[in-house]
A and B are shown apart, each in its own frame.
Chain A
Amino acid sequence: MRRPLRGMRRSSRPARRHRFLPAAVLASVLALSSCSAGGATRAADTGDLTMQFEGPPVSLDPAKAGNGGSTTFVSLAYDPLIYLSGDGRLVPDLATSWGFAGDSNTVFDLRLRDGVTFSDGAPLTARAVVASMRYFLHAGGGLVGNVGHIAKVEALGPMKVRVTFADPNPEAPMAMTQYNGMGNIIGPKGLAHPASLLTASDGTGQYVYDGQDSIAGNRYVYRRNDHYFRPSAQQFDTVSIKVIGDPNAVLAAAKTGQVQYANGSANTVDAARAAGLRINTAPFYNWALNLVDRTGKVSPPLADSRVRHAIALAFDRSTIAHGLAGAYASASDQIMLPGTDGYKASLGYRHNVARAKRLLAQAGYPHGFRLTVLTQSIIDPNTNYSQAIAAALGDIGIDVTLRVESTGIAQFTGDALSKQYAATIFPNVGASMQATDLQIMSGVFNPFGSSDKELNSLLARAAAQTDAGARTDLYQQASRRLQQLAWFVPVFATKNISYSSPDLEHVTSSVVNPNPVPVGPTAAYSWRLK
């Protein structure tokens, strides 16, 4: 009998079958899942709030931070001088009263709240507020353009601050709210070391940023500030913001209770509603085709106002809005949205393709022309909005090529400012004509630096006007003038959609404030869980 070679053995018994493996795997999964019972609602049970935001904050330094939904990152730790509530009211916060001195709308006084301290232990004083405001004005942040032209900031006494504007600014109270940076007051210790504000907060807010427990770009954790001036307004032990960009991941996190508040989208809103989440909406983005090359340097036809008006007449706005986002978008035919100061129902572009073609023919373009339009796929996912706008222009013979920037808003901004594009697709936002004007006359909305004397005159008169009714009338005249110029062609407005847990109370939003924050100066304004 031959022996097997060394190292080789004959088979002595059948190979053992691992019958238990699938059962073991299943048991492990069940064990894991049972250990998680209640995990989804843990935050609610312990008085913690977890929110979602689609990206990291622009900066955690209030002077360099962003606004819109990103405001929450700052608002949790820094109180504003004046609080803008979800329903659009101005509410005393660090300032207990305010008003213009004289009748020029240039000298604005604020009286500060007594007994407030920063998280660094320093008391809130006029000197501290002035130092914070001065830092904001020179820090190089992106919101500095939103507060108007400020000539001087000074302390008039231990608890009184005066802000003097170089030009009349009737929107000064709005400039001091949480959305415009300057009103979010930073403590002296933080101001002494501005770099420290990126990893630790120094405000008077309800919460203190915990840089140790946070992971930049993924999770931002805020813990209750024991020195907050009104503890009854603090509703949570901890507030966390999770950065989740993918809309499906956002929906899953909201449905499973991992977050109690999340930004929504028109694509997932029906599923969110079906899952029992509360849907909050408010008009927000006014999507427009911005005809920025008004002198025809890049695209000569756009220098002719007849061409710009023809473009404005090309859109069947209601159909486009409904087709793109159903109930979550509406037609927009003027620069201001209904409910904001400057909107006038009788104004607005109509849909008239025949007239648009006649205007093009009169301008010397009976067969249309080619136009490259810069857009982006960051807040216009899949460029659906841009494609709808391009298709409508095709109806009047304008052959649009979309140049899509898909890497980021910063890249889009860089392209838009390069003066290589005659038109862009990007939304504007603004609760008043003055705020909108500050936006649309600068940056990506006006890279070629256009200005109009009549428009400037109307806005200057409105700014100096102390009577609110007369100011509204002037704002509406400015809306009419913008329509005559046809520099901006609004098409539709999309709503800001958010999902909140049915247990989360006091979440309100409006056209004036479509991005509410979870903290407020009293319990009535702070969000809370049932």
Chain B
Amino acid sequence: MLRLIANRIAMSIPLLLLVSLIVFALEALVPGDAAQTILGQNATPASVAALSKQLGLTEPWFERYGHWLAGAVHGDLGTSIINGVDVTSSLATRTGVTLSLLVPGLLLSAVVGIALGFAAAVRGGLLGRFIDLVTLLGFALPGFWIALIMVIVFAVRLGWLPATGYQPLTEDPLGWLRSIVLPVIALSLNGITAVAKQTRDAVLDVLEADYVRFLRANGVSSRSLHYRHVLRNAAIPVVTSLGLIAVGMLTGAVFIENVFVLPGLGSLATQATLDHDVPLILGVGVVLTLAVILVNFLIDIAYGFLNPKVRVS
């Protein structure tokens, strides 16, 4: 395990460097800059040039990147060009919001998706077909559209839950719960369907395996067979899909955060990109890269737990 952790940390350093460099280069390719954003459409080229110089945007790209990198390795991600807020504190605030969506969203995807997929495979028949249909619908309907419908129904018509906004967990736990119910459901719907489909297929495969037939012939109870053997062996591809879903949710959060006006990393990334706010863009890039590394790391651990062969290797 220690070797695995050391390997992952060693791999993450060049990955972070590469990602930050790519993000920096891509940002440079987008027309306009932060000075143009600040001065607006009526600015003269002279005033844009003057402010660009003041902001240090006229320095060669490698110097600007070098300055950022020098600060970043000391834990200083700089301040926003546009609003002067410390990038690290911005990220800390926003990461909490995004985690408030991702963690419950992933749990919901896993629990409901596995339950549905497992039921569809084991029960079959009408129930199985119904679950298949529901999962197909879940794939077809985009999350942001479902989010809009849920806002209309549950916030505007019924008034049960807030249409927009976020309450920090530490300030108002009930308000926090109310503010994340709709976004989490909207965010996890695609995940639930993907996990359900994956679970159903994997469970059906395992149920066909010789050792399952052997266990059944030995009089092992269905409950023990399903939960202790089939589900565990079917879990490996499901865990893989959960990892992919977790990464996909980071992108999905951009849309969901915009619909529900949540101050998370997704909306921060969008606004920072539109503003050409390079320190913020790079900061978000670093956090998202770390999140992907962490997810992969957790998946590796889960593989080890589920499959002894992986542990040995």
List residues of chain A with CB under 8 Å of any chain B CB: 2, 4-5, 7-12, 15, 29-30, 32-33, 35-36, 39-40, 55-60, 64, 66, 140-142, 144-146, 195, 198-199, 215-219, 242-246, 248-249, 252-253, 255-256, 258, 405, 407-418, 426, 439, 442-445
Collect the chain A residues with CB atoms within 8 Å of residue B58's CB: none
On whether the beta carbons of B47 and A56 are closer than 8 Å, the reply is no
Tell me if B5 is interfacial: C-beta within 8 Å of chain A: no
List residues of chain B with CB under 8 Å of any chain A CB: 30-33, 36-45, 47-48, 50-51, 54, 80, 82-85, 90, 93-94, 148, 151-152, 155-156, 158-165, 174, 177-178, 181, 215, 218-225, 228, 258-263, 267-268, 271, 273-276
On whether the beta carbons of A252 and B155 are closer than 8 Å, the reply is yes
CB distance from A20 to the nearest CB of B (A): 15
- Rounded to whole angstroms, the CA-CA distance of A211 and B237 in the bound complex is 47
Given A215-B263, A410-B37 in contact, is the A4-B219 Cβ separation under 8 Å?
yes
- Rounded to whole angstroms, the CA-CA distance of A87 and B161 in the bound complex is 38
Q: Which residue of B lies closest to A64 (CB)?
A: B38
On whether the beta carbons of B221 and A11 are closer than 8 Å, the reply is yes
- Rounded to whole angstroms, the CA-CA distance of A255 and B158 in the bound complex is 12
Top 4 closest A-B pairs, CB basis? A11-B221, A198-B84, A33-B160, A414-B32
Collect the chain A residues with CB atoms within 8 Å of residue B260's CB: 249
On whether the beta carbons of B39 and A140 are closer than 8 Å, the reply is yes
On whether the beta carbons of A217 and B263 are closer than 8 Å, the reply is yes
Task: Say which residue of B33, B218, B261, B263 sits within 8 Å of A5 (CB atoms).
Answer: B218
Task: Say which residue of A29, A58, A245 sits within 8 Å of B40 (CB atoms).
Answer: A58
On whether the beta carbons of B93 and A215 are closer than 8 Å, the reply is yes
Task: Say which residue of B30, B39, B90, B165 sits within 8 Å of A141 (CB atoms).
Answer: B39
Collect the chain B residues with CB atoms within 8 Å of residue A146's CB: 42
CB distance from A65 to the nearest CB of B (A): 10
Q: Which residue of A lies closest to B272 (CB)?
A: A217
On whether the beta carbons of B160 and A32 are closer than 8 Å, the reply is yes
On whether the beta carbons of B42 and A439 are closer than 8 Å, the reply is yes
Q: Which residue of B lies closest to A55 (CB)?
A: B271
Given A36-B178, A411-B32 in contact, is the A142-B164 Cβ separation under 8 Å?
no
On whether the beta carbons of B162 and A442 are closer than 8 Å, the reply is no
Given A7-B228, A198-B85 in contact, is the A410-B276 Cβ separation under 8 Å?
yes
On whether the beta carbons of A256 and B261 are closer than 8 Å, the reply is no
CB distance from A435 to the nearest CB of B (A): 11
Given A59-B38, A216-B90 in contact, is the A11-B223 Cβ separation under 8 Å?
yes
On whether the beta carbons of B219 and A2 are closer than 8 Å, the reply is yes
CB distance from A166 to the nearest CB of B (A): 16
On whether the beta carbons of A443 and B41 are closer than 8 Å, the reply is yes
On whether the beta carbons of B159 and A218 are closer than 8 Å, the reply is no
Q: Which of A248, A405, A414 has the most chain B CB atoms closer than 10 A to its own CB?
A: A414
On whether the beta carbons of B84 and A142 are closer than 8 Å, the reply is no
On whether the beta carbons of A417 and B45 are closer than 8 Å, the reply is yes
Collect the chain B residues with CB atoms within 8 Å of residue A5's CB: 215, 218, 220
On whether the beta carbons of B161 and A36 are closer than 8 Å, the reply is yes
On whether the beta carbons of A218 and B261 are closer than 8 Å, the reply is yes
A sample of 17 inter-chain contacts (CB < 8 A) reads A2-B218, A8-B224, A32-B181, A33-B160, A58-B40, A59-B82, A142-B38, A142-B47, A145-B42, A216-B90, A217-B268, A217-B271, A242-B165, A256-B159, A410-B32, A413-B40, A414-B32
On whether the beta carbons of B51 and A140 are closer than 8 Å, the reply is yes
Given A36-B160, A195-B84 in contact, is the A258-B165 Cβ separation under 8 Å?
yes
Collect the chain A residues with CB atoms within 8 Å of residue B37's CB: 58, 408-410
Given A36-B178, A199-B85, A410-B275 in contact, is the A11-B224 Cβ separation under 8 Å?
yes
